[in-house]
Amino acid sequence: MTVDKKAIALSFSRAAPRYDSVARVQRQVGDAMLAVLAGSAQPVETALDIGCGTGTLTIKLAPFARHITALDIAPGMLSVAKQNDRQGVISEFVCADAEQLPFSAEQFDLVFSSFALQWCDELAQVLADVYRLLKPGGRFLFSIPVENTLRELKLSWQKAENRYHHVNDFLSVVQLQTLLVQSPFQTLQLKECLDMVYYETVRELTRELKTLGAHQVTSNRAHSLTGKKTLFKMMSNYEHFRNHQGMLPASWHYCVIALQKPATITPETKEASQ
Ligand SMILES: C[S@@+](CC[C@H](N)C(=O)[O-])C[C@H]1O[C@@H](n2cnc3c(N)ncnc32)[C@H](O)[C@@H]1O
């Protein structure tokens, strides 16, 4: 997939003011990640949050790091993050692309990222770059949606129209594991999770995705307005998933991953990171 970065920045900037009102899955995922940190980490000196969004999670990194940098590609998200940071726990706000991180080597003890790296073309490259930014012994904790996320919506669209992608493709767990094995990191944890969210109507779901800014932004997205007929077909296809309680499910399938840069760099790990 080729991701349109300008479209992402625009879509998330527009979504920023209302993002927190609908980010319930994102909050749940974030809390699971903070629990991982609380269970294991000593407070560190420097942390970076990639794809910080409105900063709600970034602020919660305060007990774990003294100097926190928040990075996002969407200026609108960073503006809301600044407003939300009333206590001033975030030291630095950086508008940049996760695939072109503007930092020098061995600057951070902790790199954190929740539900942002799915918007990158080359996760392998991001892993290599984060490895470079981390101090020896530093950790990278991230969460990412995987293959079955929004599968009901994807299948409903596919049956209605095959020409365009209406839902992003996510990596499979196997692809993710392969990337991790090929990276120079030590994997401390890979936890696979499935959360279901229920809606009364398909419109409720699509409206929520729009409010999140989580539009379809790959190069094969439907450029023209989708016809009403196709939209109704998709909505009628989605009805097949209605459950016994009369609700429509939406799957959020994701992994929470904790990685570590070895404290002692051997010639092999050094070579792997180059
Ligand atoms: C679903 S939101 C998650 C925000 C936050 N981490 C949270 O959990 O609430 C995804 C965020 O990633 C940002 N993002 C997407 N692609 C990015 C990229 N290539 N570089 C930096 N940030 C990116 C978006 O602007 C958005 O703020």
| Closest C-alpha residue for ligand 1 atom 14 | 51
Mean pLDDT of the chain: 91
User: How far is the centre of ligand 1, averaged over its atoms, from the C-alpha of 265 (Å)?
Assistant: 31
Q: Is the pLDDT of residue 118 over 90?
A: yes
Q: What is the pLDDT of residues 136-187, one digit of tens each?
A: 999 999 999 999 999 999 999 999 987 777 778 899 999 999 999 999 999 9
- Please give the pLDDT value at position 169: 86
Read off the pLDDT of each residue in 223-245 and give the average, rounded to a whole number: 87
Q: What are the CA-CA distances from residue 145 to residues 57, 252, 257 (Å)? A: 17, 7, 11
Q: What is the pLDDT of residue 224?
A: 52
Q: What is the pLDDT of residues 57-111, one digit of tens each?
A: 999 999 999 999 999 999 999 999 999 999 999 999 999 999 999 999 999 999 9
Residue to mutate (ligand 1; options 5, 8, 212; most atoms within 8 A of CB): 8
**Span from the CA of 205 to the centroid of ligand 1 (angstroms):** 20
The pTM score is 0.93
The answer, yes or no, to whether any atom of ligand 1 lies below 6 A from the CB of 51, is: yes
What CATH homologous superfamily does 5-149+168-196+253-272 map to?
Vaccinia Virus protein VP39 (3.40.50.150)
pLDDT digits (tens, 9 = 90+) for 26-52: 999 999 999 999 987 689 999 999 999
Q: Count H helices, E strands: the chain? A: 10, 7
In terms of Cβ atoms closer than 10 Å to its own Cβ (0-12, 13-18, 19+), residue 263 is exposed
**Banded pLDDT at 218 (limits 50, 70, 90):** very low
Residue 271 has pLDDT above 90, yes or no: no
Q: Looking at ligand 1, which atom is closest to the CA of residue 23?
A: 9
Tell whether ligand 1 has an atom less than 6 A from the beta carbon of residue 115. yes
CA geometry: angle 174, 178, 181, nearest 5 deg: 135
CA of 270 to the centre of ligand 1 (A): 29
State which of 73, 99, 144, 216 you would mutate to test the pocket of ligand 1, scoring each by most atoms of that ligand within 8 A of its C-beta.
73
What is the distance in A from the centroid of ligand 1 to the CA of 118? 9
The predicted pLDDT at position 42 comes to 80
User: What pLDDT score does 3 carry?
Assistant: 77
Check residue 219 and give its pLDDT: 44
> Residue 266 contacts by C-beta under 8 Å, 6 or more apart in sequence?
none
What share of the chain has pLDDT > 90, as a percent? Answer: 81
Q: Using a 6 Å cutoff on CB, does residue 4 contact ligand 1?
A: no
Sign of the CA dihedral running 116, 121, 126, 129: negative
Query: How far is ligand 1, taken at its centre, from the CA of residue 229, in Å?
Result: 33
CA of 261 to the centre of ligand 1 (A): 23
pLDDT of residue 151: 96
The predicted model gives 206-217 an average pLDDT of 81
Tell me the C-alpha distance between 193 and 27, whole Å: 14
Question: Mean pLDDT, to the nearest integer, of 109-119?
Answer: 97
Bridge pairing between strands 134-145 and 248-260: antiparallel
CA dihedral 127, 263, 138, 186 (to 10 degrees): 40
